[in-house]
Amino acid sequence: MICRILPFLILFLFSFSSYDSANKSNKPSELKWVASNATSSLESRCKSFYATLDQNHFSLPNFDVFLAAFQGYEQLKQQGQIVNDILTVIDFSLSSKEERLWVIDMNCQQILLQTLVAHGRNSGLEYATNFSNDNESFKSSLGFYLTGEMYQGKHGTSLRLDGLEYGINHNARERAVVIHGADYVSKKIATKQGYIGRSLGCPAVPYDVHQQLIQLIKNKSCLFIYHPSKHYLTNSKLLS
């Protein structure tokens, strides 16, 4: 009796093992397919958003920069971290003479503000090329931030920032990296010397827009500082 059953039992076990192996072998390709589809879907939604974005007489950020910002924003929104649906994009691949900060209303799909913004004094002169998360580095930090609370400091009304990327910008609050106004950030200075003044690491903006900017982006909105740094693009979990 056992001899009669044994061949069928072996066949059954072999078939189950083959099926299981086939399923396992398909899983990596299935995961790649899902990931590829998700990336394609996000890029498609981003392209649609970008194409219909109301420029409101301002220029558009570079699409690749906006795509990176959009990707991180979407993840943070899904995680419930964003309360104020405003996305601030800073493109530090551009000259400091250019208005390289955009404030975008993600619900109304409209650019609300575009302005000059400073980088840290040890990050570079006209262009920012070096970045750090270290105290006393006087360099800018890349990546995604949430805006915190307003306060009155030596630069007047200022806005605290919380870095969301460990090892990249998580020391922002400890370093007192904040949004504030600065008289060294102006078109007049940019024209005179070929670059605007630099901060101790803060994304400082002109005094004539800093109050408006802070009111727009306060209370847990998303701020993204971009640069095509290999170190950042490789290590950011929000862009992987």
Q: What is the DSSP string of 25-62?
A: HHHHHHHHHHHHHHHHHHHHHHHHHHHT-B-TTSPPPP
The sign of the CA dihedral 222, 228, 232, 234 is positive
Decide the pairing of beta strands 101-105 and 86-91. antiparallel
Structure tokens at 78: 């899904």
DSSP code per residue over 126-140: SS---B--STT---B
Give the pLDDT of the chain (240 residues) as one tens digit per residue. Answer: 444 444 444 444 445 444 454 455 455 555 444 455 666 799 999 999 999 999 999 999 999 999 999 999 999 999 999 999 999 999 999 999 999 999 999 999 999 999 999 999 999 999 999 999 999 999 999 999 999 999 999 999 999 999 999 999 999 999 999 999 999 999 999 999 999 999 999 999 999 999 999 999 999 999 999 999 999 999 999 997
Report how far residue 90's alpha carbon sits from residue 117's, in angstroms, rounded to the nearest whole number: 8
Report how far residue 119's alpha carbon sits from residue 96's, in angstroms, rounded to the nearest whole number: 8
Neighbour count for residue 211 (Cβ, 10 Å):
12
Q: What is the pTM of this model?
A: 0.85
| Res 98: pLDDT | 98
| Res 36: pLDDT | 54
